[in-house]
Structure 1
Amino acid sequence: MREYCSGDGLSEGWRGLNRVCGEDEGMELLPWSIVDDVTDAEVQTWPILTYEDTQLGAQFNTSVSVDRGLFQIGYQTIIKEQGGIIMGKQSNSTHTQTHTSSVFWYFLTSGIFRYAILGFWGLVVLFGTIHNFVRYLTSSSILRSKTIARCQSFLGRYFAVPPIMTTRQTSQFFSIPSTPRLQTIIISIYFIISIVLMCAPYHAFSENLYFTKKSTQLWRYIGDRAGALVINNLPVMWLFATRNNILLWATGWDFATFNTFHRWIGRACAILIFLHGMAVCIYQNKELGTEVFLPLWKDVDWYMGVVAGCSIILTTLFASSPIRKVVYDLFLIVHQSFAVACLVGLWYHLPVDGPDYVNFIWPCIAAWSFDRLIRIFRLLTWNKFASYSSAEYNRDANVIQLKTRVRQITSPYPGSYYYVYGWRSLKFWESHPFTLSGWNTINTTEESYTELKFLISVQNGFTSRLRSQLLRHEKPGIDVSSEARKACISVEGPYGSHFRPWNSQTALFVIGGAGITIWSIWCRVASMLIRGSGGVKIIWAVKNPAFYQFVYERYMAAWEDVFASTDIELSLDVYFTTSPKNASDDEISGSENHVEPSESIKNWDTVISPSSSSKSHIATEKVRSEEGPRNPGAGPLKTTFFQGRPLIDELVKSQIETLQSSGVNHLAFVGCGPATMAHDIRLSYVSSSDNGQVAVDFHLAPFGW
């Protein structure tokens, strides 16, 4: 060591060897001082150990001097295996050349490469935070400039809003929803970085002291690098999966965006962990042989690594969209159970590689624990233990209106949603998000509370079980559709990003099904939303007239009360997409296949013939429209009825052309609907935003999860 190492390098190397001996064999080396007084003359009498001697298994009963060639081989073996370079002062040009040519490889294979993944997502979040901050500053007319407005419009039109698949027929690809273009670019760059890190040079070489074959050396390096990438992805994957994530507030992105990133990181980890397992198994079998490889399965660190890897792969498979929709309960149980199994498996698997990798488990635990603590805090602070909750189910509309009383902690806001817990269910741990449809603040001498309202379209799972509970308590001779029943419900929230286009002169809402709750809650602040005497137009695609009738009876009077004292014009175009009661919300879309009008519309007394402007919105001659005030002279709400599915792109373009002719230059465009309809809404914004005369503030509210 004295011949090939400097003083500082000698001390550091000896401490490193001592640490390795202590961790691997449980013993310590003798202190360096006992051999430090050996003279150079004594060293000259020692036999020289060469690489050939190590291959022949030569044994010596005396001290030996290491041949320079063997030292170079050992040096290369160590730095390639550990993925590092000795950064001390080099004593000759050979070392300097090795250092210079390996800088790129050092970054990729040493511990530094872990920061490539973390650094990438850090830059993504930083970009979102800066954009959100600029958007907040420019929301005021004082700070708003044309240059910033153009940049924001350019970013929204070409990156943030448009889906990567630009036709309705490709709104999904193998059950994977079409993501916005910017999200797709971010995910693609992430996969490119991962591929580059995996495919970068491995510098395998012959005469390696740890491996007998170059091929097995490559398998080992591939497996180690894939495993290291998985570990470095875990903190980000866990953080993006939590609903109480500070990054949601910093970037202004919705939970669906981070959830999309979470799923794709999970898919990448599943591929990498499979590659890690296969590469290590091939290496162990070929390098050590079957007689050594099979007994490894009895080692705790080995089979717990298999448990962790299988947990990641199975979690990814069970998280596919078809399984989530059909058997959500199974998905939830598998997801949570395998997540715990993954961390437990890694806890026993990683110590063999050193404490550095074990440290990556703690951020995962911290993110999960913080999220759960905040959930509990929200439940305890919002909900009153003796509070009253009620649920009303309408058979014809297949919809539930839920009301619950909470403490007056903070005021709800438009676009917010809450997670609803049903404590009387056997699955009391599950919670599901529902958009707030309204609220009332009650102050009496006895108590003060806020009554939250939710309009829930019944689907499979939680909503179906809630409906069954309501029907189970049905009394003979009483129509369950007209009676509200007590429900044991708690809410957690509020969640959701703020969208405040306070400078808009007019607003356009394109809504599908139960997404009408977005307008119902925005209606409360519409007087602040619209600047001047602009109007509000709502395009609502609903399954059947019964749904409309239910909303009409429960909400429309409140809408008119809000607008009664203003000069804002409010118009509602209702499109009845189908009449069967068992139709799903996914049938609401922008398809050109229209259906014939139902008898329920033909017999309405309020129907009159359509005007020429209404006829221009209809794609085929078979589609019938009926136009007229819902109740002439009773309020500012003007309702128009159509049978069929709205052609969203044409309707939005027509609305913008109308605004141009009337001199309006600022529009708030809000959309909410099922996946296919949301896809069409995005496309309609892109096609209509190229108009330079009308500035459009776009917001797409979440509909499903």
Structure 2
Amino acid sequence: MAAFDTPSLVSLAAAAAGAASHGGKAGQDAGAKAEKARQKLLSARYTNIYVWIMAALLGCLILRNLSLTAARFFDCRRRRQAASSEKGRRNGFDAYNDKPAVLRWSDKVDSLALKPVRGLPTDWTYLRLILVTAIVIVNTVFCLVGSTQLHSAQSAGSSIARAFSRRCGRIATANYPILFMFAGRNSVIVKLTGLSYQSLRFYHILLGFIAFVESFVHTIAYIAHYSIWQGKDKLAQEATETYFKWGIVAVVFMLTNCLFGLKWLRRRSYEIFLLLHVVGAALILAGSWYHRPIMQDWVYAAVAIWIAERVFRCIHHVGSVVGARFFLRSPLVKARAEVRDGAITLSVPADGQTWTAGQHVYLSFWGLDLLHRPWLFGWSQSHPFSISNVPSNGTTATREMRFVLRVHGGLTRELARHIARRSEATDGQAVDCWVSVEGPHGSAPAAAEFDTLLLVAGGSGITHPLSIAADVCRRAAAGQAVVTSKIKLVWALHRLEQAAWVQKTLEETRSWAEKANLDLSVSLYVTRTASADTSGTSSPSSSASIDDEKKEDHGEEVNVGGKCRKHSGRPDVNDEVARAVSDSSGRTLIIACGPEPLANEVAKAATPYLSSGVKVDIARFEC
């Protein structure tokens, strides 16, 4: 938090107020100085209060997460000790009611807070709506309180516009540390609060937009003051000053980062977005630092947070934790990659490493043959990909992480072409490529505590829910305490051949399910005809989609990683959700991952059933 010399400001205000008793221009100048000192004092007070409010909010989230983590730890230990005496598979509600009261109450509160708001997009929960409203109101009020009232007459040295401008600038800068804290995926806040990086990204975008609006208003109000009270000639003279130029630099790059941060533009030009975002952030901080000395403390705080995030990122690249032991690992590993039906399948050795179901990592590609494509090389491109499998029960030296990289544009398209050319020289075999793995990140719900799992996936989104299904089946086969008795996997894919992306993991999951006597059913919904383009990059108009309104077919049995049911068309999400809830013998967990329309459809279909007995987890991954 920035520190301000409040006593000196009070002394300056008192001295200037005494001088203001003299008449004439000298009196006006003294009054302007007194007003400036008073406004500085108010700005210091309200920016400090604002940061304390944000710190208190984060503190509550941290205390909540720490207390729940401790409660889960002792509950898991108690369950492990009691597992040896238990016989048979427990019912999900019995296991749920056996939890500590703090976990059950927290679960009920979360069910209400994370329920989608009717009439808004499904990712807008009541908690998000409350937080967004509070943040906007606090920023607005703190920009207005005390800044639109003067204790001296408006003059060339002091006006409401100038006071308001200063306050908006101070509050905008006070957002910098929080803004950078929410930007990094390796931020310590992610670990301490238990919130996902994807959740914090939303508030990073929100605070970035608010800071830009406040900075823009600061600029307009400042220009208005000079235009009205001191004249355009004086404004033109001020525009030649260093502080003015650097202020404009900061505002321009705030606007640039906001524009290229828009989802539709970011997805279409991610490389440009990434470059401009990093360069823009540096210029925003530099512009603010040179603009006014009073902003420098906030800039220092933001820079410190940014550097810390970069350090943690390096640690994630070269370090891993197995159990309670931290060890260094190779920052670069040789993976095997091949292009299959519009996707790159990647197997990455994970010697001595561990991860849990539902986690993801950020992959970077470092092959020397990519040096002539700098937009693909190394950390210039780092994207999140879900791990499709879980660690094997064998030694850690034989583990591998499996990924499915769907070919779209940018990085994946260039990589697919590069791998395909190299693969042709080896008769279509998988080829080696050097990658670095940053992570793992994220977590997944405790799926083994639910009686029924409904997993809905679209395209390469299969990796996230499949890893969860594999983990539950593996744990059940190993004799660990698992409540789950029924798993339904619904996968919408363009062509049946794409099931080969995760065939090995499907086979492992089926084998574990049979050993544990779990009811595992897999339904494949093929949404395109055999004549569709297999490049994975075609537009909807270039492929023949199957009519959504065709009569329901009961599917045919196919052998893809075990017995599956193949259907034509898209799954009826509402019917799948209703059937899973009604047929469940206890608690039900619904997980969805895939294209945004599918994820939103699942969230909307499951909303009426939300309760302590029905949970929904929509996995969203964005760069």
Query: Smaller-chain TM-score range?
Result: 0.7 to 0.9
Structure 1 counterpart of 2:528, one-letter code? T
Structure 2 counterpart of 1:646, one-letter code? P
CA contact (8 A) 1:402 1:453 kept: yes
2:145 aligns to what?
Answer: 200
Q: Of residues 297, 300, 314 in structure 2, which corresponds to 1:362?
A: 300
Deviation at 1:505, TM superposition (A): 2.2
CA contact (8 A) 2:316 2:439 kept: yes
Whole-Å separation in 2 of the counterparts to 1:485 and 1:420: 17
Deviation at 1:182, TM superposition (A): 2.0
Say yes or no: does 1:321 pair with 2:239: no
Whole-Å separation in 2 of the counterparts to 1:350 and 1:465: 45
SS of the residue 2:449 aligns to: coil
Deviation at 1:79, TM superposition (A): 5.8
Q: Of residues 633, 636, 640 in structure 1, which corresponds to 2:565?
A: 640
Whole-Å separation in 1 of the counterparts to 2:20 and 2:361: 72
User: Aligned ranges for residues 291-302 of structure 1 at < 5 Å?
Assistant: 291-302=233-244
Name whichever of 621-630 and 227-236 sits farther off: 621-630
Deviation at 1:364, TM superposition (A): 0.9
Say yes or no: does 1:486 pair with 2:432: yes
Deviation at 1:504, TM superposition (A): 1.9
TM-score normalized by the length of structure 2: 0.81
Whole-Å separation in 2 of the counterparts to 1:697 and 1:533: 14
Deviation at 1:544, TM superposition (A): 1.8
Q: Of residues 658, 665, 669 in structure 1, which corresponds to 2:586?
A: 665
Task: Return 5+ residue gaps in structure 1 as ranges.
Answer: 1-11, 22-47, 58-69, 86-105, 172-177, 588-593, 598-618
Note closer, same or farther for the CA distance 1:300–1:222 as it changes in structure 2 (3 Å cut): same
Say yes or no: does 1:700 pair with 2:618: yes
SS of the residue 2:516 aligns to: coil
Whole-Å separation in 2 of the counterparts to 1:455 and 1:165: 34
Say yes or no: does 1:656 pair with 2:581: yes
User: Aligned ranges for residues 90-105 of structure 1 at < 5 Å?
Assistant: none
Say yes or no: does 1:675 pair with 2:596: yes
Note closer, same or farther for the CA distance 1:563–1:203 as it changes in structure 2 (3 Å cut): closer
Deviation at 1:285, TM superposition (A): 2.9
User: Aligned ranges for residues 431-470 of structure 1 at < 5 Å?
Assistant: 431-438=382-389, 448=397, 450-470=399-419
CA contact (8 A) 2:331 2:437 kept: no
Whole-Å separation in 2 of the counterparts to 1:262 and 1:275: 20
Whole-Å separation in 2 of the counterparts to 1:622 and 1:228: 62
SS of the residue 1:298 aligns to: coil
Deviation at 1:343, TM superposition (A): 1.0
Structure 2 counterpart of 1:651, one-letter code? E
Q: Of residues 401, 407, 412 in structure 1, which corresponds to 2:345?
A: 401
CA contact (8 A) 2:337 2:345 kept: yes
Note closer, same or farther for the CA distance 1:666–1:622 as it changes in structure 2 (3 Å cut): closer
SS of the residue 2:387 aligns to: strand
Whole-Å separation in 2 of the counterparts to 1:621 and 1:50: 84
Structure 2 counterpart of 1:624, one-letter code? D
Structure 2 counterpart of 1:438, one-letter code? N
Deviations 1:33-62 (A, max 9, x none): xxxxxxxxxxxxxxx99857324x6xxxxx
Taking CA–CA contacts closer than 8 Å with sequence separation of 6 or more, which of the two structures ends up with the larger relative contact order? 2
SS of the residue 1:682 aligns to: helix
Note closer, same or farther for the CA distance 1:206–1:153 as it changes in structure 2 (3 Å cut): closer
SS of the residue 1:371 aligns to: helix
Deviation at 1:462, TM superposition (A): 1.0
Deviation at 1:701, TM superposition (A): 2.3
Note closer, same or farther for the CA distance 1:666–1:505 as it changes in structure 2 (3 Å cut): same
Say yes or no: does 1:417 pair with 2:363: no
Aligned residues: 567
2:424 aligns to what?
Answer: 475
Name whichever of 262-271 and 645-654 sits farther off: 645-654
SS of the residue 1:360 aligns to: helix
Say yes or no: does 1:688 pair with 2:609: yes
Whole-Å separation in 2 of the counterparts to 1:74 and 1:551: 75
Deviation at 1:316, TM superposition (A): 0.8
Whole-Å separation in 1 of the counterparts to 2:362 and 2:241: 43
CA contact (8 A) 1:509 1:670 kept: yes
Whole-Å separation in 1 of the counterparts to 2:392 and 2:583: 38
Deviation at 1:269, TM superposition (A): 1.1
TM-score normalized by the length of structure 1: 0.73
1:33 aligns to what?
Answer: none
Note closer, same or farther for the CA distance 1:111–1:386 as it changes in structure 2 (3 Å cut): closer
Whole-Å separation in 2 of the counterparts to 1:376 and 1:459: 28
Deviation at 1:419, TM superposition (A): 0.7
CA contact (8 A) 1:596 1:623 kept: no
Note closer, same or farther for the CA distance 1:20–1:566 as it changes in structure 2 (3 Å cut): farther
Structure 1 counterpart of 2:412, one-letter code? T
1:153 aligns to what?
Answer: 108
Structure 2 counterpart of 1:345, one-letter code? G
Q: Of residues 499, 503, 517 in structure 2, which corresponds to 1:567?
A: 517
Note closer, same or farther for the CA distance 1:468–1:256 as it changes in structure 2 (3 Å cut): same
1:600 aligns to what?
Answer: none
1:180 aligns to what?
Answer: 125
Q: Of residues 36, 40, 47 in structure 2, which corresponds to 1:81?
A: 36
Name whichever of 137-146 and 125-134 sits farther off: 137-146
Q: Of residues 209, 213, 216 in structure 2, which corresponds to 1:267?
A: 209
Deviations 1:348-402 (A, max 9, x none): 1121xx4xx31111121111111111212222336536742111111xx201111
CA contact (8 A) 2:356 2:390 kept: no
Structure 2 counterpart of 1:414, one-letter code? A
Whole-Å separation in 1 of the counterparts to 2:262 and 2:228: 35
2:277 aligns to what?
Answer: 335
Deviation at 1:14, TM superposition (A): 11
Deviations 1:147-183 (A, max 9, x none): 8636623532x431425645xxx67xxxxxx533322
Whole-Å separation in 2 of the counterparts to 1:488 and 1:557: 27
Whole-Å separation in 2 of the counterparts to 1:339 and 1:570: 49
Structure 2 counterpart of 1:117, one-letter code? Y
CA contact (8 A) 1:595 1:623 kept: no
How well do the aligned residues superpose, as a CA RMSD in angstroms?
Answer: 3.5
Deviations 1:484-508 (A, max 9, x none): 0111211111111343244222322
2:197 aligns to what?
Answer: 255
Name whichever of 76-85 and 324-333 sits farther off: 76-85
Deviation at 1:16, TM superposition (A): 4.6
Q: Of residues 494, 516, 520 in structure 2, which corresponds to 1:543?
A: 494
Whole-Å separation in 2 of the counterparts to 1:359 and 1:164: 42
Q: Of residues 506, 515, 519 in structure 2, which corresponds to 1:556?
A: 506
2:381 aligns to what?
Answer: 430
